[in-house]
Chains A and B, each alone.
Chain A
Amino acid sequence: MDIDFAFETFMALVGAVPLTIQLAVSAIFLGAFVAFGLAMMRLSGILPLALLARFYVFVFRGTPLLVQIFLIYYGLGQFPAVRHSFLWPLLREPYACAVLSLMLNTAAYSSEIIRGGLLSVPPGQVEAARAVGMPRLMILRRVILPLAIRQALPAYGNEMMSMVKATSLASIITLMEVTGVAARIISETYRVIEVFVVAGAIYLALNFTLSRLVLWAERALSPDKRRPASAAVPIAAATPASTGDA
């Protein structure tokens, strides 16, 4: 390990971190909407919609992301019909193609995670909400989603982290994110170990931050598991009421 060289490499790779984060955030954000839509289709009870969603998940989960990126970038660009369509200004850009393929891929996995979360909500809770007269949308917002998201978070955290790592594939379509820059430095210097160690450390740092965020969200959504620090307040407030009752 040459420390000076490793530091130089680190500075070069840090310059590429914004692109990696941009790719990951846009893909995860946009993918979440597609995933939610797909999960809703699966659970809608309408057979054609459910089958369509199943087929989508089957295709995108069953083929490598690398192949998907290649097909979307080089594959679609081969057809003159695509090149003359209104989509071309978007598909012409490597960045848009990368976000599109990452998003479509993560949507397939995430939809299954969301579906699992939604199915894990105990029917009794929904029944109770209905019994007190909550409207359907309110049940979704206040009962189903908080429970489903909390259930799905650990698995969804996994998916988000694998997306951060999957952005490394964007370098094959000319996007110079962290791995792309690393590969370039290696082919210029023939020094593999330093460069990949530094690149790996950068991904580790990114995913460490992400895992902390997921943990924080998990705790925010689990009030029952928090230490009852503020428990004294409701009891104190409740005491006069109960004495008044008696």
Chain B
Amino acid sequence: MKRIGTLLAAACVAVVALVGGVQAAQAKEWKHITIATEGAFPPYNLTKPDGTLAGYEIDLAKVLCERMKVECTFVTQSFDGIIPALQAGKFDAIMSGMSATEKRKQIIDFSVSYGSTGQAFATLKSSPLASLPLKGELYSLTTNDEGAHKAITELKPMLDGKVIGVQTASTSSRFVDEYMNGIVEKREYKQTEEHDLDLISGRVDLIMASMGYLSTAITKPGNEDMVIVGPRFQGGFLGAGSSVGLRKEDTDLKALFDAAINSAKADGTTKELSEKWFGFDVTPY
């Protein structure tokens, strides 16, 4: 009898807890958000030797949380299990350099993008292409497709007949096909490291890859002669960039994040923070 009593009591507690939970969900006013990150994807997020988190996303999240007027805590979670854990309610948001791909969009929701490194060119310091014009200019294929075409036309005299290395089936490969067809000769590599090797050895005149990749590649030993040149391209099929991953039902949270990210983009916070962590502006347009 005593056991049944205990069970009943436990059931009552559970029901109360459930009802309470449902009520909280209905009138959810976000006071506290737990954000998951990998902590091992610099410069987006990284773990410092003392165990604390740092990186572009960590700094940005502090600003966003302030603007959303919520209290935020960060937890680390390995990237491969991060979406199931979000679904299971272990945390409320993902900020882990995650791109909003179509496949992921089927399962979770994404905020607007807060960081897009885009695609850029690199060549050797000794190459005549090292002085490629439009350095640092950023063209979005979504909002300024005409500008992107114009930029390529402007670079055409210098690029004509040059050999460009790209990764097979990458977005940069598609960009070369669609925007630089007939201007450059394309060589496809299985891995980005391989086109770096061929750039150094002089088999290709320039390479195109994601700016995030190139900015770390040029710091690697052996790649001292590599230099990032010319304009950058983003948007369109080049990808929307990294976004906050959220549960589909938390539409109110998505609205909060969207507003905060848009304000951070508008007042130059993302520019300032990305220049601190990436060395260039990753603000998506």
A interface list, Cβ under 8 A from B: 74, 77-78, 83, 92, 94, 171-172, 174, 176, 180, 183-184, 187-188
Contacts and interface: CB of A to CB of B under 8 A. Distances in A.
A188 B203 contact: no
A77 B197 contact: yes
Contacts of B169: 184, 187-188
Contacts of B201: 74, 77-78, 83, 92
Contacts of B190: 171-172, 183
Given A77-B203, A184-B188, 15 more contacts: A74-B201, A77-B197, A77-B201, A78-B197, A78-B201, A94-B187, A94-B203, A171-B190, A172-B190, A174-B165, A174-B187, A174-B189, A183-B168, A183-B190, A187-B169
**Shortest Cβ-Cβ A-B pairs, 9 listed:** A77-B201, A187-B169, A174-B187, A188-B169, A184-B168, A184-B169, A74-B197, A92-B203, A174-B188
A172 B168 CA distance: 10
Contact of B188 (A74, A83, A176): A176
A94 to B, nearest CB: 7
A39 to B, nearest CB: 35
A180 B190 CA distance: 9
Contacts of B187: 94, 174
Contacts of A171: 190
A77 B196 CA distance: 12
A176 B187 CA distance: 9
Interface string B201-230: 111000000000000000000000000000
B194 A83 contact: no
A184 B187 CA distance: 12
Contacts of A184: 168-169, 188
A171 B165 CA distance: 14
Interface residues of B, number: 13
B145 interface: no
B206 to A, nearest CB: 15
Interface of B: 165, 168-169, 187-190, 194, 197-198, 201-203
Contacts of B189: 174
A94 B189 CA distance: 12
A10 to B, nearest CB: 19
27 contacts: A74-B194, A74-B198, A77-B198, A77-B201, A77-B203, A78-B197, A78-B201, A83-B201, A83-B202, A92-B201, A94-B187, A94-B203, A171-B190, A172-B190, A174-B187, A174-B188, A174-B189, A174-B198, A176-B188, A180-B168, A180-B188, A183-B190, A184-B168, A184-B188, A187-B168, A187-B169, A188-B169
A187 B169 CA distance: 6
B107 to A, nearest CB: 17
A114 to B, nearest CB: 35
Contacts of A92: 201-203
Nearest to B166: A174
Contacts of B168: 180, 183-184, 187
A174 B168 CA distance: 9
Nearest to A76: B201
Contacts of B197: 74, 77-78
Nearest to B188: A174
Contacts of A176: 188
A188 B177 CA distance: 14
A176 B186 CA distance: 11
Contacts of A188: 169
